[in-house]
Structure 1
Amino acid sequence: MTFYIGRESSKLWKRICAETTTELNLLAENWKYLLAGVVCQYIHGLAARGVHYIHRPGPTLQDVGFMLLPWTFHPFIFKSKKIYTVIVWCRVLAFLVASQFLRIITFYSTQLPGPNYHCREGSKLARLPPPKSVLEVLLINFPRGVIYGCGDLIFSSHMIFTLVFVRTYQKYGTRRSIKQLSWLLAIIQSFLIVASRKHYTVDVVVAWYTVNFVVFFIDKKFAELPDRSNGIGSLLLPVTNKEKDGRTKEETHKLLNGNSGDPADWRQRTQVNGKNLEDGNTVHVDGAMNGA
Structure 2
Amino acid sequence: MTLYIGREASKLWKRICAETSAESNLFIDNWKYIIAGFVFQYIHGVAARGVHYLHRPGPTLQDLGFFLLPELGQDKAYISETVFMFVFLSFFLWTFHPFVFKVKKFYTVQIWCRVLAYLVVSQTLRIFTFYSTQLPGPNYHCRPGSKLARLPEPDGVLEVLVINFPQGVIYGCGDLIFSSHMIFTLVFVLTYQKYGTRRCIKQFGWSIAIIQSLLIVASRKHYTVDVVVAW
Structure-2-length-normalised TM-score: 0.86
Q: Number of residue pairs matched?
A: 208
How far the C-alpha of 1:133 sits from its partner, in A, is 3.4
In terms of fraction of residues, the more helix-rich structure is 2
Q: Does 2:77 match 1:75?
A: yes
Percent identity among equivalent residues? 79
Counterpart amino acid of 1:63? D
Amino acid aligned to 2:77: P
Question: Deviation of residue 82 (structure 1)?
Answer: 2.5
In structure 1, C-alpha distance between the alignment counterparts of 2:8 and 2:65, rounded to whole Å: 57
Moved over 6 A (4+): none
1:47 is aligned to 2:26: no
Name the amino acid aligned to 1:165: F
Deviations for 1:213-267, whole angstroms, at most 9, x for unmatched residues? xxxxxxxxxxxxxxxxxxxxxxxxxxxxxxxxxxxxxxxxxxxxxxxxxxxxxxx
Alpha-carbon displacement from aligned partner over 1:138-190 (angstroms, at most 9, x marks no partner):
11111111111100000000100000000000111111111101100100111
Q: Which structure has the higher relative contact order (CA within 8 Å, separation 6+)?
A: 2
Match of 1:216 in 2: none
- Alignment TM-score, normalising by the size of structure 1: 0.68
**Structure 2: where are the runs of 5+ without partners?**
79-99
1:203 correspondence with 2:205: no
1:75 aligned partner, one-letter code: A
Report the Cα distance in structure 1 between the residues aligned to 2:4 and 2:211, rounded to whole angstroms. 48
DSSP-derived class of the 1:59 partner: coil
Matches within 5 A, 1:63-142: 63-73=63-73, 74-76=76-78, 77-142=100-165
Alpha-carbon offset, residue 2 of structure 1? 6.7
1:149 aligns to what? Answer: 172
The equivalent residue for 2:19 is 19
Q: Partner of 2:110: helix, strand, or coil?
A: helix
Q: Deviations over 1:37-95 (max 9, x none)?
A: 00000000110000000101111111111111121253222221321000000000001
CA-atom RMSD in angstroms: 1.5
Q: 1:114 to 1:80 in 2, by over 3 A?
A: same
